[in-house]
Amino acid sequence: MNRTILNTLNCAAVVMTLCTAAIAPQALAQNPQPRSRQDSADQLLYRRAFEVALWAMPAADTFAAREAVKRDLHGKPNDVAIDTKPLNSDAHLIAVQTQTPYLQGALDLRDGPIVVEIPAATSESHLYGTICDAWQRPLDGIDVGKDGWDEGKGAKYLLLPPDYKGDVPAGYKTMPSRTYLQNFLIRSISTAGWNAALEYAYTMKVYPLAQAANPGKTTFLDMSGIVYRAAPVFDAGYFNLIDMVVQEEPVNDYDKTMLGMAAYVGIEKGKPFKPDTHTVQILERAAKDAQEYLIQISNGVAWVPVDGQPGWTRLNLHREDIAKGRLYVYENADGMIDYQRRAAIDYWAYVMPADLGSGTMYNVAFVDAKGRPIESTKNYRLRMPKDFPALNFWSVFAYDARTRTFIANSMKGRQLSSLDKLVKNPDGSIDIYIGPTAPKGLESNWIGTIPGIDVFMGLRTYGPEKAVLDGTYKIPRFELMK
C-alpha cells in the first residue's frame, strides 16, 4: 500500500470518527448494544500485536535461525551449519539458492568476543558473505571474503559484544556489535565445482577469543536432507521469538515506543511471557495477518521498478538506508524509522550484503513480458542469453511466497543457473521454464510451481557487470507459454 493511499485512508478514518461522534446519541438509541469492554480490549491487543510483529521482523529471523540450530541440528550457538549437498525445500532458509554451499548460523557474544577466520582466496575458490547483528545490520558496515573488507586475502574478524571494555589484541579486524546475537550467511564459490567449494568452506574457523592461543576445532553441522526450520513461522509462536529479542538484547533508542507496544502484548524485559489461551488465539491471528500483509505490499513497498529494466523490480532501498552508520536501520533524514518498509524488505532478504551490487544483484518479476501478473497456475519461459553479463554465474529462482524458500514440489524446489547442466539452444542461449507443467524433453530446464500457492520469482546475478547494473544491458523477461 503506497503512502498516498495510506494518507487517504487515515483522513477517511478521521472524518468517519467525527461523523460517528456527531450521531452517537441517536445511534445508541437505535442500537443499545455498544461494543463490550472485552471486544475493545481484544481489538486493541490485536492491533498492537500486529504492529509488534512487523517491527520485530529482522530480529525474529535471527533468533529463529539460532533456535533452528539447537532444535533441528542439535547444535549450539557458534556452531556452523553447512550444506554438503544442494539445499531443497527441507531447508527453510530465506531466499537461498542451490548452486553453492552455504555457511550459516548464529554467533553468541554473551560469553565474550568471537573470532571468525576467513581463509584467503585461492585461484579457484573464495568466500563471499556478511555477518550481521540481531537486527540484520552488517557488522562494521562491511562484508567478508573476496568482495568484502579482506578482498580475498583472508582475515581474522574479531566480533565484540556491546560496550566491550576489554583488551583488543593486534592482528584482528574488529567488528563491534550493537547486539549479543549475530547472524551470518556466507557462500563458498569455486570454479572447480561443488566438491571443491565444499572442501574450501571447511577452512573457515569460528572460536572464542579466549581460546585464540589454542583454538578448538570448529563444529560444522550438516543441514542437507534435514527439515531445518531456520525461518520463523507466522503463528502464535512467532511472539516467543520476539520475547527472546526483548529479554536478551540491548534496547535501541528508536525502539522504546515499540517496546511499550510489546509490553501491552505481554512481552516485557525481566518478566515471563505467558499468554493465556484467549491471548494466544489473538496473537495467532495477528501473526498470520502480518504475514499476509507483507506479501500484499511486497510489490511497491519491498520491491520497486528498476530504471531502464521494464518489468523488473529491485529492493526499495533509499540513500539513507545504506548511509555509513545507518546501514539497514531504515531511518530517514528526519530520524523516522520506517519499520513497515524494513519488515517488507526483510521478509524476502536475509542477511543482506553491506555493499549491494558488488557481489550479487537481485531482480524480481511480478509481471510477465506483456505486463500481466505472474500466476502459479501458468507456465512461463525466461530465455537467458549466452552473453549475459555475470562475472561468476546467474541463477533463476522461484520461491513459495509463504515459506520464503523453495517450493515443495516433486523436485523439492530446485533453482537453475548457468552452472547447471542445462539444454542449450543453437545460439548458446538457455531457456528456463517455470510453471506447473514440465516442457516435454526439457525437464532439466524446468522449475515446478504448485497451483494455488503464491509464487515469487526472479533472477540473481553473481558478479554483475556494469552494463546490467546501469540498465545498458536489457534483462530478458518471463514470457507466458501456451
Could you report the per-residue pLDDT of 320-335, keeping only the tens digit for each? 999 888 999 999 878 8
3 CB contacts (<8 Å, ≥6 apart)?
Answer: none
Question: DSSP label at 121?
Answer: P
Instruction: Please check whether residues 316 and 457 belong to one and the same domain.
Output: yes
Domain-terminating residue out of 222, 250, 270: 222
Query: For residue 420, is it within any domain?
Result: yes
334 and 440, same domain (yes or no)? yes
The answer as to whether 101 is a domain residue is yes
Q: Helix or strand or coil: residue 413?
A: coil
Phi/psi for 176 (5° steps) reads: -65, 140
pLDDT of residue 32: 58
Alpha helices in 56-86 (DSSP H): 57-71
The range of the structural domain enclosing residue 140 comes to 73-222
Residue at 227 is within a domain: no
Residues 464 and 357 reside in one and the same domain:
yes
Asked whether residue 77 is assigned to any structural domain, the reply reads yes
The whole-number pLDDT of residue 25 equals: 43
In a domain, 373, yes or no: yes
User: Does 6 reside within a domain?
Assistant: no
- Residues 53 and 287: their CA atoms lie apart, in Å, by 6
d(CA 237, CA 257): 23
Residue (of 288, 285, 249) closest to 267 by Cα position: 249
- Answer for the pair 139, 182: CB distance below 8 angstroms, yes or no: yes
Query: Residue 184 sits in a domain of what CATH number?
Result: 2.60.40.1610
Which of 167, 193, 222 is the C-terminal boundary of a domain?
222
Residue 24's pLDDT is 42
Q: How far apart are CA 2 and CA 455, in angstroms?
A: 22
Query: With 0-12 CB in 10 A as exposed, 13-18 as middle and 19+ as buried, what is 239?
Result: buried
Which of 169, 193, 222 corresponds to the end of one domain? 222
218 and 93 share one domain:
yes
- Residue 306, SS3 per DSSP: strand
Question: Pairing between strand 430-435 and 446-448?
Answer: parallel
Asked if 353 and 448 count as a contact pair (C-beta separation under 8 A), the reply is no
The 479-480 sheet, strands edge to edge: 446-448, 430-435, 380-384, 479-480
Which residue type occupies 187? Answer: R
Q: Are residues 315 and 462 in the same domain?
A: yes
Residues 476 and 354 occupy one common structural domain: yes
DSSP-based three-state secondary structure for 179: coil
Q: Sheet containing 155-160: which strands, arranged edge to edge?
A: 173-176, 155-160, 114-118, 205-208
The answer to the question of residue 303 being in a domain is yes
Centroid of chain to Cα 382: 24
Q: Euclidean distance between the first and final Cα of the chain, in Å?
A: 32
Question: Which residues face 116 on adjacent strands?
Answer: 157, 206
Say if CB 278 and CB 271 are below 8 A apart. Answer: no
Q: In what order do the strands lie in the sheet with 390-400?
A: 303-306, 309-315, 360-365, 455-464, 390-400, 416-417
Q: Smallest Cα–Cα separation from 143: which of 159, 132, 133? A: 132
Please indicate, yes or no, whether residues 305 and 215 belong to a single structural domain of this protein: no
> How many alpha carbons lie under 13 Å from residue 188 in its C-beta half-sphere?
27
Domain identity same for 203 and 313? no
**Would 59 be classed as within a structural domain?**
no
Dig out the grid coordinates for 58 from the structure.
529482522
Number of domains comprising the chain = 2
Residues of the chain with pLDDT under 70: 1-34
The answer to whether the CB of 286 falls within 8 A of the CB of 46 is yes
pLDDT (0 to 100) of residue 30: 58
The CATH number linked to 360 is 2.60.120.600
Residue 131 burial class via C-beta count within 10 angstroms: exposed 0-12, middle 13-18, buried 19 and up: buried
Q: Whole-model pTM?
A: 0.89
